[in-house]
Amino acid sequence: MSDNQSPLYGVMAAFDSPDSLIFASKSVVKAGYCKFDTYTPFPVHGIEKAMNLKPSPLPWLVLCGGLFGASAGFGLQTWVSIKGYALVISGKPLFSYQAFVPVTFELMILFSAFAAVFGMFAINKLPQFYHPVFTQKCFESVTTDGFFLMIECADPQFDLAAVHQLLEKQGGFNIVDVRDEG
């Protein structure tokens, strides 16, 4: 398939600063677009608000992981001390929960960390070995000093000419049609 026959994925534009990218993101949202993304070499504070993104579910995943780890640690120790190996040593009661605190805490931290790492990978759809923007030569600067905004053609509002005009009006340069060659 030649480059012109590849299906269109979206339109991407470069911007010269994080502030111009934030301004462009606000304008894209105001124009009614919802399927777009921004690419930056470092975290840009305020971009998620400009893009009108909903909060991440990651904190809830971490909380669930921590609660699972704490209850698993406490539950296992309780079962072992009461049922599995019920030994009375030095007059200590079978259910001596004070001794369970360190293991319970450590398992809570361990499972929270697992939930954070694997949840982040799942939410960010990583690892991602191919994306249509990876084929664009200008996109290589995103790792150093490039700021990009791409509107996907899957957006219900998408009109090629209108998107080009909007991105140009917002100060975008190197405006390219991104084709899905994969």
Total-model pTM: 0.79
pLDDT, average across residues 160-172: 96
At 1 the pLDDT is: 47
**C-alpha to C-alpha distance for 169 and 182, rounded to whole angstroms:** 31
- Distances from the Cα of 65 to the Cαs of 55, 108, 116, 126, in angstroms? 18, 7, 8, 20
The answer on pLDDT for 2 being more than 60 is: no
Residue 92 has a pLDDT of 85
pLDDT digits (tens, 9 = 90+) for 41-95: 999 999 999 999 999 999 999 999 999 999 999 999 999 999 999 888 888 888 9
Contacts of residue 163, Cβ cutoff 8 Å, sequence gap at least 6: 11, 33, 151
- So what's the pLDDT on residue 4? 62
Give the mean pLDDT of the chain. 94
List of residues 6+ apart from 48 with CB closer than 8 A: none
Q: What is the pLDDT of residue 90?
A: 85
The 3-state DSSP class for residue 8 equals strand
